[in-house]
Chains A and B, each alone.
Chain A
Amino acid sequence: MNCQGTSEASDSRRQFIKSIAMAAATSAAGATTGFALPIFSNGDPILDDVAWNKAPCRFCGTGCHVQVGVQSGKVVAIAGDKNAEVNKGLLCVKGYHVGAILYGEDRLTKPLHRRGDEYQEISWSAAIEIIADRIEAAPDRFAFYGSGQWTIPEGYAAQKFMKGGLANNHIEPNARLCMASAVTGFLATYGVDEPAGCYDDLDACDVLIMWGNNPAEMHPVLFSRVVDRRSRGEKITLIDIGTRRTRTTDHCQHYLEMKGHGDLAIANGIAHLLIQNKTYNREFVESYCNFKAPDDAKPNLNGKSISFDEFVQLLNPYTPEYVEQVSGVPAQEIRMLADLFGNPDLKITSLWCMGMNQHTRGTAINTLVHGVHLLSGHFGRLGDAPTSLTGQPSACGTVREVGTLSHALPGGRVVANAEHRQQAEEFWNLPPGRINPEPGFHTVQMWESFCTPRDQGGKIDTIWVQVTNPGQTLPNLNKLFNPKERLEDKFLIVSDVYPTATTRLADLILPSAMWVEKNGLFGNSERRTQQWFKMVEPPGEARDDCWQTIAVARRLFERGMEGMKDREGRFLFEILDKNTGNAIPHWQWEHYYATNVDQHLFDEYRQFTRLKHKDLAPYSEYVKARGLRWPVVEKDGQWHETRLRFAEGFDPYVVAGRKIQFYHSTTNDDRAQIWFHPWIPPAEIPDDEYPLMLCTGRVLEHWHSGTMTRRVPELSRAMPSAYVELNAADAAAASVRNGDRVIIESRRGSIEIQAWIEGRGKPPRGTVFIPFFDESVMVNDLTLDAIDPFSKQPDYKKSAVRIRKV
C-alpha cells in the first residue's frame, strides 16, 4: 500500500473541500439584494463525488434553501443555497446542522404495537389492519392530528381522506397552537388569510417593529438581512416591544418592555394619537377602509360596523398616560411610536409571531396591528407591511392553504359553506353531500375529548398523530394529554422518526421517513411554495407519512367502505398510468415511487388555489425555482410570482387604476377593516398565591420540542437542558442562587428545574421564562389552556406560577 499516495490524495481532497468552503463563503459574503428570479441550475456541482440538490430547510417558517450533498446514500454536507432569494446562501446554526437530524442513533425503524407495558415489532400490513379496524369500528370517533411540518401533499392527502373520505372534520394541525390567531386576524381585516407583504419588506423598510417577536433567535437569517443593512451603513430603526429582553433587543435602538396584554393598549394608544394629532392617512382610510368593533351581543369574527366617529370615541380613553398605566410602557415611547407611524415618508414593517398569536386576545391584537398600518397608510409599498411570521416550515403551505383545520377546506374554503363543499366535492369527484357541514373539534377540544372517558362524554376514541409531538407541546398536559395513560378505551397512533413524549403513551408507533428521505413541498411565511426531491432512503422500514395515509385509505376501500370511493366507485386516491390506463398500486410501498405521488396530489390541489386568488403554478415550475410566492399567474408563457398583494403594480388581481384593492373584503366593497378592540387583562394574572407570570418559548439552539435538534450533538451541547430564567430580585426573595434546583408550580402542575438568574432574557421583576424544548422538563404541565374566542389558540405566554427552592 502506498501510504504516501493515500496521504497525498487525502490532502488534496481536503484542500479541495476547503476551497469549496471558501468559495461558498465568498459567494455569500458578496451577495446583494438585487436578485433576479432564481432558477435552479444542474451545472453547479461543488464536490465532484457528491450529488447536490436543493431543499428548503426542515426547521422554521423562514424557508431558507439549502444545498444537500449526498454521497453513498448518505447526506454528507450542507451548504447555504446562494441562488435562494430567502437566505442568499446564509444559514443559521440549526440550518447548517440540518443534515445531522437524519442520523440520530434511536431512529424508529419498525412499526411497534403496545402489548401491556411492552412494544412488539409488527409488520406494516398488520399495522395498517389495526388502524383500519379502529376507523371502521367508529369512523366518527376518529381524529387526525398533524402539523405545519406535514408537506403540502401529506396534509392534502390527510385532508381528503378525512373530509372527503370519512366525512369527518376532526382533523387539526399543531399550527392551531402557533398561528391560528394570525389567520383570524387576516380574515377579520382583509377577508383572506396570509400576509400581503413579503421578506423584501425587510430590505426596504426604514423602521422595523417587532411585536413580542425575537427573530434574532427564531428567524435568524431574516434578522441578519436587516442587521446586514445596518452594517452596510443604511439607517434603519429597530424597535422591540416585548415582555423580556432577547438577543433581538441587543440590536434595537428602542426596547419597550410591556406587561402581558400591554400590546392591546399600545396599538390603541398609537391609533388614538394618530387621530388626535391628525397624522393618520385620511385619504387612504377614506378610500380603502371601514371600521369595526366587537359585537358583544353576538360575538363573531366579523363583528359590527361602526363609524369613524364611533371609532374615535372608543379610542378616547387610550391616552399615552392610560396606556402607560396598563402596559407599563412609558407614555413618551407611545408618542414616539405614533410619531413614526404618523410620518408618511418612512416605510414601516411590523413583524410578529408567537407573542401576538399565543394570546387569549390573539385575534384582537392581530387586527389592531393591521389597523395601525391601515390607519397610517403604511401599507401597499415595499417596506410598509404588517407581517406575521410562522414557526414551522409549512404552517402556511399545508395548514393555512391546504386548510388542515377542523373548519376548513383547501384554498381558503370552509365546510360550513354549502357552495364551498360543493366545489370540493366536484374536484374530488365525490357524491354530492359527502362532506360534513359541521366543523370538527379544534385542537384543545379534540384532546380534551380524547382524554375524557367515553362514558363521561368523551367523543374521540382514536387519534392518529403525524409529524408532531402533542405530548410535549399541548398546554395543560395534565388535562389534555397525560390522562390518556389511564384510559384503556382510547387508542393513540403516532407516526414519527424518533421516540418522543407522545410515543410514550402510543398504542401503535409507525416509523416515518423525514425531510430528504421523501419528496416534498413546503409553503413558508411569505407565501413561497418550495419543492424538493427525495435524496436518500429512510432507515429500516420507515416510510412516508403520505404513503401511510393512502395505504390505510386503500385498506378501507378494499373492505368496502363507501367513503373511500368516488362517484364512480373508484378509489379516492386513484392514479392512472398514462401509458396503460391502469391504476398504479401506489398504496403498496414497493410501488409508491413508481410515480411522483406528490405531483399528482399537488396538481389536483392546485384547482382549489384559484378559488381565492392564491393561485399556484404547476408542480414542474417549482422544480425549477427556489420557491415562488403566490398568487403565481401565467402571462406570455411565463409564470410570475407576487411580492405584494392588494397593491397595483404588484398584485395581478388588482384592477388597473384602483391603486389598492382589498378584493376579498368582508364588507364586499373592496375595503379592509380597521378594528377597535379594548384592552383587557390576561386570562390568568399573578396573585398572592401564584405571584409570578410564566412565559414559555424557544431558544436559538433548539427547534420546537427538541426531538430533532437535541439529537444533534453540537446543538445539544450548546444548550443541554431547560432552565428557568429568574429576575435577580425574585431569586433573592426566594433564596435561590444560580444553578439551584427549584420547584415551579401553577394551578395545573409542577416541575423541578434549574434556576438561571437573569438568564439570556433578563426577565422583569415578577416574571419567569422557561423554554419548552426539553422533554425531561415538561413546562406545559404548568401552562394554561384558556383560548382566544375566535382562533381557539391557547396562550402559552401568561400563566401564574410560584417558585420554591428544592
Chain B
Amino acid sequence: MTAGLVATFDKAVAGFDQTISAIEAHPDVELGEATCSRLPMTIEAGDAQGLESVTNWLQNLKGIVHIDVVFVHYE
C-alpha cells in the first residue's frame, strides 16, 4: 500500500530538526518539501496494518499537531 500524507506542525517545520531526522530515518517514509508548517510525505507499507502503525508513530512525534492522509492506493 502507498499513502500520501501531510503532517501539520504547531509552527514552522524548520524548527523541528530532531523530528525531521527521525522521520527521515524511517525506511518506509519519504519526505517531500515542507511548506511553512506542513510537511508532505509518502509511506509505503506491505499492508494496511503497517501503514496504520507508521501513521500512529508519526502522530506522536514532537511538534506534529495532526496527520492528514490525502491519497491511498490499496495495492
Residue in B2, B8, B40, B66 whose beta carbon sits within 8 Å of that of A26 in the complex: B40
Residues on A with C-beta less than 8 A from B38 are 28-30, 228, 231
Q: Is B17 an interface residue (CB 8 A)?
A: no
Are A17 and B35 interface neighbours, CB within 8 A? no
| A24 nearest in chain B by CB position | B71
Distance in Å: Cβ of A9 to nearest Cβ of chain B: 13
Task: Report whether A29 and B72 are in contact in the complex, using a CB–CB cutoff of 8 Å.
Answer: no
Interface residue B24 (Cβ < 8 Å from any Cβ of A):
no
Report whether A224 and B66 are in contact in the complex, using a CB–CB cutoff of 8 Å.
yes
Q: With A30-B35, A231-B8 given, is the CB distance from A25 to B2 under 8 Å?
A: no
**By the criterion CB–CB under 8 Å, are B72 and A25 in contact?**
no
Tell whether B22 is near chain A: CB-to-CB under 8 Å. Answer: no
Determine if A718 is an interface residue (Cβ-Cβ < 8 Å): yes
Question: Please, which residues of chain B bring their CB within 8 A of the CB of A22?
Answer: 4, 30, 32, 40-42
- List chain B residues, Cβ under 8 A from A227: 8, 65-66
What separation, in Å, do the CA atoms of A231 and B68 have in the docked complex? 14
- Does A734 reach chain B (CB closer than 8 Å)? no
Q: Is A627 an interface residue (CB 8 A)?
A: no
* Complex CA distance for A557 and B73, rounded to whole angstroms: 47
Once the chains bind, are A77 and B71 in contact (CB under 8 Å)? yes
Determine whether the beta carbon of A29 is less than 8 Å from that of B71: no
In the complex, how many angstroms separate the beta carbon of A65 from the nearest chain B beta carbon?
A: 12
Query: Are B32 and A25 neighbours in the complex by a CB distance under 8 Å?
Result: yes
**In chain A between 230 and 260, which residues have their CB closer than 8 angstroms to a CB of chain B?**
230-233, 251
Known contacts A21-B4, A25-B32, A29-B34; A231 and B11 CB within 8 A of each other = yes
* Chain B residues with CB under 8 A of A14: 2, 44
Check A91 for interface membership: any CB of B closer than 8 A: yes
Residues of B within 8 A of A23 (CB): 4
A18 interface hit (Cβ, 8 Å): yes
The residue from B3, B32, B75 contacting A29, defined by CB atoms under 8 A apart: B32
- Cross-chain contact B42 with A21 (CB below 8 angstroms): yes
Q: Measured between C-beta atoms, what is the minimum distance from A194 to chain B in Å?
A: 28
Residue of A nearest to B36 (CB): A232
CB contact under 8 A between A21 and B6, given known A26-B40, A231-B11:
no
Q: Are B42 and A231 in contact (CB under 8 A)?
A: no
**Cβ–Cβ contact B71 & A20, under 8 A:** yes
Is the Cβ of A90 less than 8 Å from the Cβ of B6?
yes
Question: Is A80 a contact partner of B70 (Cβ separation < 8 A)?
Answer: yes
Q: Could you say which residues of chain B place their CB within 8 Å of the CB of A720?
A: none
Whether B41 and A25, one on each chain, are in contact in the complex, defined by CB atoms closer than 8 angstroms, is yes
Contacts of A93 in B (CB 8 A): 69
Check if A99 is an interface residue, CB within 8 A of chain B: yes
Interface SS of B by simple majority: strand
Distance in angstroms from A211 CB to nearest chain B CB is: 23
Q: A22-B42, A24-B4, A25-B42 are in contact. Are A91 and B48 (CB under 8 A)?
A: no
The size class of the interface chain B forms with chain A is 35 or more
Once the chains are docked, how many angstroms separate the CA of A231 from the CA of B64?
A: 10
- Could you tell me if A26 and B69 are in contact, using CB atoms closer than 8 angstroms? no
- Would B68 and A224 count as touching, CB distance under 8 A? yes
| Contact B73–A77 (Cβ < 8 Å) | yes
Contacting pair A18 B2 (CB below 8 A): yes
Per the 8 Å Cβ criterion, residues 36-73 of B in contact with A are 36-42, 44, 48-49, 51-52, 65-66, 68-73
B70, A91: Cβ atoms under 8 Å?
Answer: yes
**Measured between alpha carbons, how far is A282 from B36 in the docked complex, in Å?**
42
Residues in B neighbouring A89, C-beta threshold 8 A:
70
Contacts A77-B71, A90-B6 given: A232-B42 contact, CB under 8 Å?
no
Q: Is the CB of B36 within 8 A of A25?
A: no
Q: Across the interface, which residues of B come within 8 angstroms of A224, CB to CB?
A: 8, 66, 68
Judge if A533 is at the interface, Cβ distance under 8 Å: no
* Pick from B9, B11, B32, B69: contact of A96, CB under 8 Å: B69
Which chain A residues (706-751) contact chain B, with CB distance < 8 Å? 713-714, 717-718
Residue of B35, B42, B52, B74 touching A18 (CB-CB under 8 A): B42
Asked if B68 contacts A28 (CB within 8 A), the reply is: yes
A14 to B51, CA, bound (A): 16
Which residues of the other chain, B, contact A90 by a CB distance below 8 angstroms? 6, 68, 70
Bound complex: CA of A25 vs CA of B73, how far in Å?
13
Considering the complex, give the chain A residue whose CB is closest to the CB of B63.
A231
Q: Note all chain B residues with C-beta closer than 8 A to A78.
A: 71-72
CB <8 Å contact, A25 and B6: yes
CB distance from A246 to the nearest CB of B (A): 14
A79 interface residue per 8 A CB criterion:
yes
Partner pick for B69 among A69, A91, A233, A717, CB 8 A cutoff: A91
User: With A and B bound together, what is the CA distance between A221 and B34 in angstroms?
Assistant: 20
Given A93-B69, A714-B49: A25 and B5 interface contact (C-beta under 8 Å): yes
Q: How far is the CB of B61 from chain A (nearest CB, A)?
A: 15
Residues of A near B5 (CB, < 8 A) are: 25
Contacts of B35 in A (CB 8 A): 29-30
A415 at interface, CB cutoff 8 A: no
Q: Which of A25, A27, A99, A718 contacts B74 (CB under 8 A)? A: A99
A108 to chain B, nearest CB (A): 23
Report which residue of A92, A232, A251 has the largest number of chain B beta carbons within 10 angstroms of its beta carbon.
A232
Q: Which residues of B contact A228 (CB under 8 A)?
A: 8, 37-38
Query: In the complex, what's the smallest C-beta–C-beta distance from B1 to chain A, in angstroms?
Result: 10
> Is A418 interfacial (CB 8 A cutoff)?
no
Is the beta-carbon distance between A231 and B10 smaller than 8 angstroms?
A: yes
Q: Given A24-B70, A25-B41, verify A717-B52 contact (CB < 8 Å).
A: yes
Asked whether A18 lies within 8 Å of B30 as measured between CB atoms, the reply is yes
The one of A25, A232, A713 in contact with B70, judged by C-beta atoms closer than 8 angstroms, is A25
Bound Cα distance from A233 to B37, whole angstroms: 9
Bound form: Cα–Cα A21–B72 in Å: 7
Report, nearest first, the 4 A-B pairs whose CB atoms are least far apart: A25-B40, A21-B4, A25-B4, A231-B37
A–B complex contacts, Cβ < 8 Å, 12 sampled: A18-B30, A25-B4, A26-B33, A28-B6, A28-B40, A28-B70, A29-B6, A78-B71, A91-B70, A96-B69, A231-B38, A233-B11
A-B contact sample (20 more), CB < 8 A, given A24-B71, A25-B71, A77-B73: A14-B2, A17-B75, A20-B73, A21-B4, A22-B4, A22-B42, A23-B4, A29-B34, A30-B35, A76-B73, A80-B71, A91-B68, A96-B70, A96-B72, A221-B68, A224-B68, A228-B37, A714-B48, A717-B49, A717-B52
Chain A contact residues, CB within 8 Å of chain B: 14, 17-18, 20-30, 47, 69, 76-80, 89-93, 96-97, 99-100, 220-221, 224, 227-228, 230-233, 251, 713-714, 717-718
Which B residues contact A (CB, under 8 angstroms)?
2-6, 8-11, 30, 32-42, 44, 48-49, 51-52, 65-66, 68-75
